[in-house]
Structure 1
């Protein structure tokens, strides 16, 4: 069951990536990020209020948010710091690079998650799973060669380093999620609600320095429907992902790879919508990435 929940998360992550590309075009990254987190947080407020006013009912429908100790708040705050840094770097890179380059680099995340899963959680991949992971990495390297044809030098372009750093931080957060869900026994909506709350506080502090004081920046900001859509899609994707992690049999290394199937939406449909270059050539490494994911799924079902 957790594999199917992972696939649902991947579907909404693909939509999230498309909306994100539209939201950041010609816009400052920080207010867009604030808007997406705020819209997601607004989705979760009814769960929190319902848990205070109608606790039995919210428990029955599975959206109860219990009170948690301060120590647990500290753990969630740490996740907010990690993910805020990852998002800021990723949004900046997405604003300055084609989506068909950014998303495949992000697909290298399962490789870093694999290392953490082996060292921290002692997860044991099979031969086919190893093969699948290395096939994904090889395909990402092929994307780097295609990127040079679009005037992108992978050794000198600072946005490439930004998206790589964002990927490393995202992989760290993924490993941390398993600890929060399985070790601290947080349910998805509780983690999502407090994560959004602390992330909003961090972003408000950043914007208080870099955006709110400057009238020219505020006037240049363009609100788009896609800002709200990003937040909604992300919260839905996270809900399915955290529900999958609640299964004690779920392997974070496999879930991380399954989420890469979002590439079908982000690369194929994104390349068409944003009229980016070399779409057909990018289907070759995309096929390699999807084949790697297939091997991982096949091995999991053996």
Structure 2
């Protein structure tokens, strides 16, 4: 079951990436990111309020936000710091690179997760899962060759390093998620609510230095419908992802790889909407990624 929850997370992540590309075009990254987080926070806020004033009702529908000790809050703050850094790098790169290049590089996240899953959690996939996993990684490497035809040289473009750094931090957060969900026994909505809360505080501190004091920057900011859409889609994807992690049999390295099937939305739909280049060639590694996901599910 956890594999199919991972596919649902991938669906909403793919739609989230399309909206994110639209949201950052010609906009400052930090206020866009703050807007998406506030939208996601407002989506979860009624469940938090309901957990205080109508706990039985929220428990019945499965969205009860638990009371947690301060030590657990500290662990969530660490996750917020990791993901805030990852998102800042990713959003900056997204402004300067095609979506069909950014998304595949982000798809290399399972490789970093793979290292941690093997050495930290001692995960042991079967033969089909190994084949599927490495097929996904090889397909991502093929994307880097296609990217050079669009004038994007992976060794000298600083935004490539930004998206690689974002991918590494995101993978680290994924490994950390398994600890938060399975070891600390946090339910999805509790983790999502406090994670949003602390990340918003971090971004408000950054914006108080880099954006709020500058009138021209505030004037240049363009609010778009896609900004709240990004936050809502991300929270929906995270919910299914965390629900998958609640399964004690869930392997974080395989779940991370399954989530990369979001790429089909980015390459096919995103390529058409944003008129990006070499769409047909990108379908070849796309097929590799989809076959890899199929092998993991088939296993």
- TM-score range relative to shorter protein: over 0.9
2:69 matched residue in structure 1: 69
Judge which range, 206-215 or 135-144, deviates more: 135-144
CA distance in 2, matches of 1:64, 1:294: 34
Q: How big is each residue's C-alpha offset from its partner over 1:218-258, in whole Å with a ceiling of 9 and x where there is no partner?
A: 11100000000000000000001111111111111111111
1:290 matched residue in structure 2: 290
CA distance in 1, matches of 2:133, 2:92: 27
CA distance in 2, matches of 1:171, 1:187: 20
1:275 matched residue in structure 2: 275
CA distance in 2, matches of 1:174, 1:143: 23
Once the two structures are TM-superposed, the CA of residue 136 in structure 1 deviates from its matched residue by 1.6
Once the two structures are TM-superposed, the CA of residue 4 in structure 1 deviates from its matched residue by 1.3
> Residues 42-81 of structure 1 correspond to what in structure 2 (within 5 A)?
42-81=42-81
Judge which range, 122-131 or 22-31, deviates more: 122-131
2:27 matched residue in structure 1: 27
Residue 125 of structure 2 aligns to a residue in which SS? coil
Residue 268 of structure 2 aligns to a residue in which SS? helix
CA distance in 2, matches of 1:245, 1:119: 18
8 A contact 2:77–2:198 mirrored in 1: yes
CA distance in 2, matches of 1:58, 1:136: 39
2:222 matched residue in structure 1: 222
CA distance in 2, matches of 1:153, 1:244: 37
Q: How big is each residue's C-alpha offset from its partner over 1:138-191, in whole Å with a ceiling of 9 and x where there is no partner?
A: 211211111111111100000000011100000000010010001000000000
> Residues 1-302 of structure 1 correspond to what in structure 2 (within 5 A)?
1-299=1-299
CA distance in 1, matches of 2:191, 2:142: 37
Q: Which runs of 5+ in 2 are unaligned?
A: none
Residue 121 of structure 1 aligns to a residue in which SS? coil
TM-score scaled by structure 2?
0.99
What is the aligned residue count? 299
CA RMSD of aligned residues (A): 0.8
Once the two structures are TM-superposed, the CA of residue 128 in structure 1 deviates from its matched residue by 2.2
CA distance in 1, matches of 2:247, 2:75: 21
CA distance in 2, matches of 1:187, 1:237: 15
Q: Which runs of 5+ in 1 are unaligned?
A: none
Once the two structures are TM-superposed, the CA of residue 87 in structure 1 deviates from its matched residue by 0.4
CA distance in 2, matches of 1:47, 1:126: 39
Q: How big is each residue's C-alpha offset from its partner over 1:107-158, in whole Å with a ceiling of 9 and x where there is no partner?
A: 1111111111111111001222222222222211211111111111100000
TM-score scaled by structure 1?
0.98
CA distance in 2, matches of 1:72, 1:188: 14
